[in-house]
Amino acid sequence: MSAFIAGFRGVLDRAGVTYGMFGHADVGCVHVRPALDLTDPAQQSMIRQITDDVADLVAKHGGILWGEHGRGFRGDPVEKFLPPATVAIMRQVKSAFDPDDLLNPGKLYRPTDSATPLTRVDEPALRGDADRTVPVSIRNDYRHAFACNGNGLCMHYGAAEVMCPSYKATGDPALSPKGRVDLLRAWLAADAAGTPSDNFTDQLAANLHQCLSCSACAGHCPVEVDIPELKSRFLESYHRTRKRPLSHAVLSRFEQLAMLAARSPRLAGLGTGAAGAALGLVDLPAPSPLPPGATPIATFDPNAPTDVVIMPDVFTGALDRATMHAAAEALQAVGQSVSVAAFVPSGKFDHVKGQRAAFAKAVQAQAKAVAAIERAGAIPIVIEPAVALLHTHEYPAADSAFPSGHVRHLVDVLHDRIDHVPVSSSPRHVRLLGHCTERATRPVSLQKWREVLEAAGHTVEAPELGCCGMAGIFGHEKDNQKMSADLWHLSWHEATHQADATLVATGYSCRSQAKRMAALAISHPVALL
């Protein structure tokens, strides 16, 4: 093995190629990934020479070159490894079962009566051939689509896996991250050639409409293929020539409207159903009233700053105000003075629907709001994980100057002062249900919640769960109802119907889904502190 590997490294080093090498030493199997940029014709042309050199090396060491992964065009040098009599028998087998050479033609053996040579490794069209037709600037804009290496990790059925809910719910490969980037690259190549049909473009839009924008791919794909970002860019382009539904305009202002409506929640609740029906949205949540007896939280004053300043998000600022008040009380209980800043929309729904100019404005406004709090010497925090995570992901992706990571998650501040967490007088057995975006992109948050709850005297179990099926606006869209319900039953139903535990969930979407799917009132974990 060592002599073979040294020889292999010599082949790659002489070609000036970097590579990853791994394998199974016990059976003498080596997998090698030369890092070739196949959009560069000069690098693509190295495939044959490297393959021929490696085939000679393999033959010298008495091994065999195999096509276990990839597309399998590795049969061409087979006669270097196997004696002619063996090859002849294999060709007879091929003739017996596939006389017309229909199955994987040209890959390993031709039927006995065929004079056609096997296909050489660089003869079939390669992905690089199509990819290089897309202008470099577009390839950069959609770089996640070109980064996919096709390993298929995103096509997982496990109910507890976070990636990918739309694939798990349907079993349709086109609705996995891999399927989506394959389609996007094909569409970009057709667009570059000026040939994308309306039908193809509309089908791609329909496919992406079924993506929950949960970001599980961005967190769990080995090369961080980020479908929500690609979807956002595609939808921006798509709606340059196609009218947007009215719901997009409403969603663009949903956060401001909800905050406004929270001032008069009863009145707002009356109109929610009718407005949703008109817009193709179902089960829209109404703003919640202030919890009875809640002490108002001080307003942020830059001249008299508190230790921490809550940047309100629409979920805990309007739809679940009890959680914001519980957060303020918990922060005070660990010795932090607290105030709440003026509301600034997060722009999340603009990102989801590809309204990127409006999203860019939200990013700027958020950067200003963070800077104002930090100038005053306070720590900005966000309660809702899906919104807090925008500060480390979508915002910096939209603006590289954005102060990424300056906003802290609520649990970070509580965990920093874990020794000050008051012990509960009524300890419970708690089942902590994590938000899928948080699980995929920042699992440390759930570990911290567990430790903070344990410091308060609770016992905690935190089952591995997939997406609940809500994911912000996805579960409210009329045409997504089946998938939303299927995902609830696949991943959350069982965990929420086992007895003997107090359920808490970090995500507003998940709490909202539990309410409508199972009439369960689940609290945020901070309510137990």
Instruction: Name the site residues for ligand SF4 (rule: CB under 6 A).
Output: 148-154, 163-166, 177-178, 180-181, 211-217, 221-223, 225, 227-228
Q: Which is nearer to ligand SF4, 183 or 341 (CB)?
A: 183
Measured between alpha carbons, how far is residue 517 from residues 239, 358, 386, 489, 509 in Å? 33, 33, 21, 9, 12
Structure tokens at 73: 């065009």
CB of 208 to ligand SF4, least distance (A): 8
SS (H, E, C) 273-287: HHHHHHHCECCCCCC
CA terminus-to-terminus distance, the chain = 59
Q: Which is nearer to ligand SF4, 317 or 469 (CB)?
A: 469
Q: Which is nearer to ligand SF4, 221 or 308 (CB)?
A: 221
DSSP 46-78: HHHHHHHHHHHHHHHTT-----SSTT----TTG
Q: Which is nearer to ligand SF4, 185 or 431 (CB)?
A: 185
CB of 154 to ligand SF4, least distance (A): 3
CB of 247 to ligand SF4, least distance (A): 19
Task: Provide the angle, in degrees to the nearest 10, between the axes of the packed helices 227-241 and 177-192.
Answer: 40
CB of 474 to ligand SF4, least distance (A): 8
CB of 168 to ligand SF4, least distance (A): 9
CB of 353 to ligand SF4, least distance (A): 14
Are the C-beta atoms of residues 255 and 349 closer than 8 Å to each other?
Answer: yes
CB of 143 to ligand SF4, least distance (A): 13
List residues bridging with 523 in a β-sheet: 504
Residues in the chain: 529
CB of 523 to ligand SF4, least distance (A): 26
C-alpha 48: how far from chain center: 36
CB of 214 to ligand SF4, least distance (A): 4
Q: Which is nearer to ligand SF4, 166 or 355 (CB)?
A: 166
Sheet architecture: strand order including 408-409: 338-340, 308-310, 379-382, 408-409
Structure tokens at 56: 């000679």
Q: Which is nearer to ligand SF4, 15 or 147 (CB)?
A: 147
CA dihedral 516, 391, 374, 257 (to 10 degrees): -40
Measured over the CA atoms of residue 297, residue 298, residue 299 and residue 301, the dihedral's sign is negative
Measured between alpha carbons, how far is residue 295 from residues 261, 287, 288, 306, 326 in Å? 20, 18, 16, 16, 10
Q: Which is nearer to ligand SF4, 55 or 154 (CB)?
A: 154
Q: Residue 276, by phi and psi: left (phi above 0), alpha (psi -120 to 50) or beta?
A: alpha
Spell out the residues 6+ positions from residue 62 whose beta carbon is closer than 8 angstroms to its own.
none
CB of 151 to ligand SF4, least distance (A): 4
Structure tokens at 509: 């979407």
Q: Which is nearer to ligand SF4, 227 or 452 (CB)?
A: 227
For residues 376-403, one letter each, b for 16 or more C-beta atoms within 10 angstroms of the residue's C-beta and e for the rest, the string is bebbbbbbbbbbbbbbbbbbbbbeeebb
Q: Which is nearer to ligand SF4, 206 or 371 (CB)?
A: 206
Decide: helix, strand or coil at residue 229: helix
Q: Which is nearer to ligand SF4, 144 or 409 (CB)?
A: 144
